[in-house]
A = this chain, B = another copy of it.
């Protein structure tokens, strides 16, 4: 099937714009699929992936070592309508709170970014909840909109909500593991405990995982490696976009079989 047919069909309602699930200052987040793009080296591929995924968030980061963004924005600007996206920063390479804070400030200074995907992942590559809370407190006080990434824990999630975080991102399984949702009960507990949106993320390796995440009650999902390593990242991005909608529309509609 050609790329031209990554399309819906007979859809009289296409073109309607979904309600935002998150509003931060002047930025509205509408697409419930967020794609990480820091693994790409081709601007053309980033453009194709974001388009096929129906994404409205553009995530950039700053490599503190090389003092440059993950992809050269001047190159991207030629293939992606960057204005169409809400730019957010990420600290996904930070292993400590201090590295995260330095990355955030570099992103603000370089690009004026005020919305931050906050990751603090030490050597085990799992979110460090305590350091994340400390960093989030500092960044919110400093005027940033913060989307922190934690292991599923209700107390931590409530603390981050009290601090004023815009949304909570919850780990479902180790990043890049493609394992899906290791502990649905723990994730559900967080979703039920907080009032802010909950983004499910980490190890979502297939459209089926994404459907399950949305059926569990996620407000949105963040997918990264599964799309980046697919044979056709754009095709996988389209699959993930439809998986989000399938799960979202399916919430509350599934009748379980009688025992």
Which A residues fall within an 8 A CB radius of B?
1, 3-19, 30-31, 51-52, 54-56, 177-179, 205-208, 210-212, 215, 226, 229-232, 235-236, 238-250, 252-257
Contacts and interface: CB of A to CB of B under 8 A. Distances in A.
A210 B244 CA distance: 14
Contacts of A256: 178, 205
A7 B235 CA distance: 19
B16 A5 contact: yes
Given A5-B16, A9-B31, A56-B10, A231 B253 contact: yes
A215 B205 contact: no
A1 B235 CA distance: 27
Contacts of A18: 1, 5, 7, 9
A51 B236 CA distance: 25
Nearest to A10: B54
A241 B8 contact: yes
A5 B235 CA distance: 23
A241 B156 CA distance: 37
A232 B208 contact: no
Contacts of A177: 257
A240 B250 CA distance: 8
Contact of A232 (B236, B253, B257): B253
B255 A249 contact: no
Contact of A239 (B17, B205, B238, B250): B250
Nearest to A4: B16
Contacts of A242: 242-246, 249
A84 to B, nearest CB: 8
Given A211-B246, A239-B246, A242-B245, A55 B10 contact: yes
A190 to B, nearest CB: 21
B249 A54 contact: no
A124 to B, nearest CB: 17
A98 to B, nearest CB: 32
A9 B244 CA distance: 12
A229 B19 CA distance: 27
Contacts of A254: 178, 205-207, 226, 230, 236
